[in-house]
């Protein structure tokens, strides 16, 4: 009897069908909706899914809870706009710089804390994010509190300044597809199992030969790199970044809630979370205007609390439990 | 000499849990570590497993100095251990738990899966391969601990009270499993309270008391040693038994 | 002389940091749970003190005990409703639970009290004291002295009383404590209550000389984290010393680099401590 996970005979075609349907809808989405507003929402959903799926690598699979992921998002966003304002390059060329900075930050934050109990890492992420935000907010080179802007009018295609969201949507979708494919491959590989073992217990994992510190760092670095890419993509689309919009704690909160609501540690959980929360936020902003934003974070806080208390595995885990119960019945 | 521990000392603040313990184990032996509660055998065991760095002393395995080596280095060198309270990866299936161990020697999934199948058959867990490990009861989890550790292809297996809390029938089954592990050529160091297990399985028993080894030798001989009786029952009781 | 004043001023605020951070480290040591909402508890206590003044013209003699009790009750509610359920579970649930609570409290405060900050009048505990050639705000001196006394009191309670011994036993080895007949649940609830009460007292004291706003919790939580890590995991005397140190570092940084950078220096110190001496001053990791 093979030890490869034997999927229930009913569920294999269903799962494959669902994924194919998802891919088709994703590709056809802009054509399906036609309206630029909804296309833009689509782009934002995909962007949120990228950030949350990146967080998922370290926070979901490995169980090391970062509540300061804005630091990597902001690094990517600022790197893109800095190379434009300082060197005149197309913003997207700044993405590799953002990745390098993020990798360095990941090493600085992870190396001392991954040897210690999990709380230290979480505390360090929040402190590091705040530290960077304060420094950036006072550094004229990166625009201090005012922030940086991207090209107002496109100088060439490389600037990626498109008037309608269609192109952004497909670029973001390609990046998300790449990230999810990488995650799926990792899930089935030794790294995936080692990360989940680390989540299950450092001490036990170590006794089985898992180099715990090294793998935690790998996961964090991969996570940081993709979150940085998301930040760069954001800067390219929005054309603006300031300390609050890309380095603030609310960015970290959004990343975490999107991943956790859908299902941390699952492949499609973050995407599901994005599909629910991004349109919801856009809708409440449109319906309630500015006064809505304060309440939004009260609601986010409540949602995070409820997920933690009752369903840490998120919606996908809940669905999984319900279907298992139905099959057993 | 496969494993050699000399002068191991482990202090916690002012408490000397292990106060100069020696142990020499040849390949293929089955050693039982026994002693009353608080005698230091578990602490010593953890030092051997690399879970704690001893305050003083030296431990070598197959010529390598492992005194300060990490647990994962221990595993790579061929020392595996189980935990007294099984640390099961509850969100993974039984097979996936064992897979984690198998990946140590087989980086690629297909080969690792083959090892998993082997270990599941060997430990009798094959029927439960795709159950969530969290659903197993204690005996199943203890068996899984062993299967997982075996998947790392160890030369030395450290069993930490693997038979505690089992029913008499389960104990017999477990003894059978341990014998089959030994038959594979794996050296065993077993910490155990159940005397029957030590008497049945161990070739040599090492008795700990107050952080030191007070007796070592064939189990039947050791349990009659007056010093050992005194350690377990107190001097007055021992004296009464002598008289 | 100004530097001496800056240092003493920092020590006084640092004493208040010591107080609420002791509460945090007590909780962490006992239950292996870090309260990400700790600073927001302090923020709520500040508002309790504020409303004690605006509604009843009550000063610290009333507002401090009032805030202590209010926050203790909140703490117990959080323990029984939330913490007990998540503390034995996955790390994700543990961390997100108090993190979510922090957001809930902070943005509820935003919604209820608006983003504007308020202050208690200077006259409440007014004037400046001249001590040894230094001119110090009376309110700060009061806050610092009371906080230090209570933080010391907490340490003495833990080390010299029977109930303190029970709490420390649960902190050190829960299973062993149960074996000798100590029930962990009431001890843990007590720790939460005390931890929350410490935030209540600290908040009511800080409110005497600090601005009161919903955002205060964010930086106070981080300060508490720095103090408990610098002091050492679970060490109340460590938090005591570390709190004073952090207060001085903050104060001197504000003086040398300007108030904008004072927080940055503290957070940078935090990361440095993690690299160089993660067990802190008096802790084991």
Which of A183-197, A290-304, B131-145 comes out lowest in average pLDDT? A290-304
pLDDT value at residue A4: 47
pLDDT value at residue A139: 93
Chain B CB contacts of A2 under 8 Å are: 113, 117
* Mean pLDDT along residues C213-223: 94
Is the CB of A9 inside 8 Å of chain B's CB atoms? no
What is the value of pTM for the model shown? 0.93
* Mean pLDDT along residues C67-92: 94
CA distance A302 to A308: 10
* Mean pLDDT along residues C144-152: 93
The reply to whether residue A209 touches residue B75, judged by beta carbons under 8 angstroms, is: yes
Selecting from A117, A126, A301 the residue whose C-beta is nearest the C-beta of C107 gives A301
In chain A, the residue whose alpha carbon lies closest to the alpha carbon of C229 is: A120
pLDDT digits (tens, 9 = 90+) for A240-261: 999 999 999 999 999 999 999 9
**Highest averaged pLDDT of the listed ranges A112-116, B33-37, C277-281:** A112-116
pLDDT value at residue C174: 84
Is the CB of A194 inside 8 Å of chain B's CB atoms? yes
pLDDT value at residue C230: 95
pLDDT value at residue A2: 44
Is the CB of A253 inside 8 Å of chain C's CB atoms? yes
* Mean pLDDT along residues A135-158: 87
Q: In chain A, pLDDT over 70 holds for what percent of residues?
A: 94
Is the CB of A121 inside 8 Å of chain C's CB atoms? no
Q: How far off is chain A from B105, nearest CA to CA, in Å?
A: 9
Question: Is 60 exceeded by the pLDDT of residue C48?
Answer: yes
Q: What is the DSSP string of C164-207?
A: HHHHHHHHH-HHHHHHTT--HHHHHHHHHHHHHHHHHHHHHHHT
pLDDT value at residue C132: 80
Q: φ, ψ for residue B9 (rounded to 5)?
A: -125, 135
Q: How far off is chain A from C36, nearest CA to CA, in Å?
A: 9
Is the CB of A212 inside 8 Å of chain B's CB atoms? yes
- B233 confidence band (pLDDT: 50, 70, 90): confident
CA distance A275 to A266: 15
- C89 confidence band (pLDDT: 50, 70, 90): confident
Q: What is the DSSP string of A16-37?
A: HHHHHHHHHHHHHHHHHH--HH
More confident residue, A173 or A27: A173
Write the CB contacts of C100 (distance below 8 Å, at least 6 apart in sequence): A301, A302, A303, A304, A305, A306, A307, A308
Is the CB of A294 inside 8 Å of chain C's CB atoms? yes
Is the CB of B75 inside 8 Å of chain A's CB atoms? yes
* Mean pLDDT along residues A98-122: 96
* Mean pLDDT along residues A198-206: 95
Q: What is the ipTM of this complex?
A: 0.93
Say whether B132 sits in a helix, a strand or coil. strand
Q: How far off is chain B from A193, nearest CA to CA, in Å?
A: 6
pLDDT digits (tens, 9 = 90+) for C244-270: 999 999 999 999 998 889 999 999 999
The subunits that touch chain C, with at least 3 C-beta pairs less than 8 Å apart, are A
pLDDT value at residue A14: 75
pLDDT digits (tens, 9 = 90+) for B105-121: 999 999 999 999 999 99
pLDDT value at residue A3: 46
- A11 confidence band (pLDDT: 50, 70, 90): low
Which of B62-66, B237-241, C30-34, C180-184 comes out lowest in average pLDDT? B237-241
Residue recorded with tokens 């806050």: C143
pLDDT value at residue B241: 67
Mutation site, A208, A266, A311, interface B, largest B CB count within 10 A: A208
The reply to whether residue A5 touches residue B90, judged by beta carbons under 8 angstroms, is: no
pLDDT value at residue A80: 95
Chain A CB contacts of C226 under 8 Å are: 127
* Mean pLDDT along residues A119-129: 96
Is the CB of A112 inside 8 Å of chain B's CB atoms? no
Chain B CB contacts of A265 under 8 Å are: 91
pLDDT value at residue A1: 41
Is the CB of B200 inside 8 Å of chain A's CB atoms? no
Provide the mean pLDDT of chain A.
90
How many whole angstroms from its chain centre is CA B154?
Answer: 12
pLDDT value at residue A222: 98
Write the CB contacts of C186 (distance below 8 Å, at least 6 apart in sequence): none
Chain B CB contacts of A193 under 8 Å are: 92, 96, 99-100, 103
The reply to whether residue A118 touches residue C95, judged by beta carbons under 8 angstroms, is: yes
DSSP C118: B
Nearest to A219 by CA among A329, A324, A107: A107
Q: How far off is chain A from B221, nearest CA to CA, in Å?
A: 34
pLDDT value at residue A202: 94
The subunits that touch chain A, with at least 3 C-beta pairs less than 8 Å apart, are B, C
Is the CB of B130 inside 8 Å of chain A's CB atoms? yes
């Amino acid at each position: 009897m093979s030890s490869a996970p034997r999927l229930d005979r009913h569920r294999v075609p269903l799962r494959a069908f669902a994924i194919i349907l998802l891919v088709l809808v994703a590709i056809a989405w802009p054509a399906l909706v036609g309206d630029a507003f909804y296309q833009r929402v689509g782009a934002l959903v995909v962007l949120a899914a990228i950030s949350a799926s990146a967080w998922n690598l370290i926070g979901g699979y490995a169980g090391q809870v970062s509540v300061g992921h804005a630091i990597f998002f902001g690094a990517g966003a600022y790197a893109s706009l800095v190379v434009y304002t300082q060197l005149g390059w197309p913003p997207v060329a700044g993405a590799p710089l953002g990745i390098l900075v993020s990798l360095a930050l990941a090493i600085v934050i992870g190396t001392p804390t991954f040897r210690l109990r999990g709380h230290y890492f979480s505390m360090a992420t929040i402190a590091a994010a705040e530290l960077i935000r304060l420094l950036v907010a006072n550094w004229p080179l990166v625009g201090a509190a005012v922030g940086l802007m991207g090209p107002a009018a496109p100088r060439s295609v490389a600037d990626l300044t498109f008037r309608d969201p269609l192109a952004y949507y497909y670029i973001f979708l390609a990046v998300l597809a790449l990230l999810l494919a990488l995650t799926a491959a990792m899930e089935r590989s030794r790294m995936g199992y080692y990360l989940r073992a680390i989540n299950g217990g450092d001490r036990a994992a170590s006794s089985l030969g898992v180099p715990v510190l090294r793998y935690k760092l790998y996961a964090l670095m991969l996570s940081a790199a993709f979150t940085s890419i998301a930040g760069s993509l954001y800067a390219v689309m929005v054309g603006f970044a300031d300390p609050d919009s890309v380095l603030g704690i609310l960015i970290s909160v959004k990343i975490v809630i999107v991943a956790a609501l859908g299902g941390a540690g699952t492949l499609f959980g973050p995407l599901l979370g994005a599909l629910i929360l991004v349109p919801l936020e856009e809708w409440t902003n449109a319906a309630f205007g500015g006064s809505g934003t304060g309440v939004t974070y009260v609601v986010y806080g409540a949602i995070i609390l409820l997920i933690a208390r009752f369903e840490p595995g998120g919606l996908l885990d809940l669905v999984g439990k319900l279907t298992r119960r139905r099959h057993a019945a | 000499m496969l494993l050699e521990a000399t002068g191991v000392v482990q202090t916690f603040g002012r408490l000397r849990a292990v106060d100069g313990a020696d142990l020499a184990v040849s390949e293929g032996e089955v050693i039982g570590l026994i002693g009353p509660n608080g005698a230091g055998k578990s602490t010593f065991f953890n030092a051997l497993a690399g879970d704690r760095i001893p305050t003083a002393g030296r431990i070598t395995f197959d010529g390598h100095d492992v005194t300060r080596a990490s647990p994962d280095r221990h595993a790579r060198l061929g020392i595996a251990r189980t935990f007294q309270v099984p640390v099961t990866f509850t969100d993974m299936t039984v097979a996936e738990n064992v897979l984690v161990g198998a990946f140590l020697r087989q980086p690629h999934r297909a080969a690792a899966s083959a090892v998993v199948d082997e270990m599941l058959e060997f430990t009798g867990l094959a029927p439960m391969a795709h159950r969530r490990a969290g659903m197993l009861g204690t005996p199943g989890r203890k068996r899984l601990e062993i299967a997982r550790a075996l998947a790392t292809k160890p030369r030395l297996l450290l069993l930490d009270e693997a038979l505690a809390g089992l029913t008499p029938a389960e104990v017999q089954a477990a003894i059978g499993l341990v014998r089959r592990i030994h038959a594979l050529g794996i050296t065993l160091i077993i910490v155990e309270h159940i005397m029957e297990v030590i008497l049945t399985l161990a070739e040599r028993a090492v008795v700990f008391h107050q952080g030191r080894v007070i007796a070592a030798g064939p189990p039947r001989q050791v349990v009659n040693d007056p010093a050992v009786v005194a350690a377990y029952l107190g001097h007055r009781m021992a004296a009464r038994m002598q008289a | 002389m100004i530097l001496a004043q800056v240092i003493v001023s920092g020590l006084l605020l640092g004493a208040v940091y010591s107080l609420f951070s002791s509460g945090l480290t007590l909780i962490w040591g006992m239950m292996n749970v870090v309260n990400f909402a700790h600073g927001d508890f302090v923020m709520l206590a500040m508002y309790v003190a504020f409303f004690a003044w605006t509604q009843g013209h009550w000063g610290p003699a009333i507002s401090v005990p009032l805030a202590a009790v209010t926050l203790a009750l909140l703490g117990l509610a959080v323990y029984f409703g939330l913490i007990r359920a998540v503390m034995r579970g996955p790390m994700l649930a543990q961390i997100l639970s108090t993190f979510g609570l922090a957001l809930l409290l902070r943005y509820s405060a935003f919604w209820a009290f608006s983003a504007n900050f308020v202050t208690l009048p200077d006259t409440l505990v007014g004037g400046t004291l001249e001590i040894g050639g230094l001119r110090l705000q009376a309110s700060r001196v009061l806050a610092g002295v009371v906080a230090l006394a209570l933080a010391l009191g907490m340490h003495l309670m833990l080390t010299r009383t029977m109930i303190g011994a029970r709490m420390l036993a649960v902190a050190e080895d829960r299973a062993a404590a149960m074996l000798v007949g100590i029930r962990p649940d009431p001890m843990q609830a007590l720790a939460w209550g005390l931890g929350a009460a410490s935030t209540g007292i600290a908040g009511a004291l800080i409110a005497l000389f600090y601005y009161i706003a919903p955002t205060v919790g964010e930086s106070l939580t981080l300060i508490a984290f720095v103090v408990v890590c610098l002091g050492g995991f679970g060490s109340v005397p460590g938090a005591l010393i570390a709190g004073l140190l952090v207060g001085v570092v903050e104060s001197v940084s504000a003086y040398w680099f300007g108030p904008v950078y004072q927080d940055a220096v503290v957070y940078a110190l935090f990361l440095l401590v993690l690299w160089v001496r993660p067990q802190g001053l008096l802790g084991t990791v």
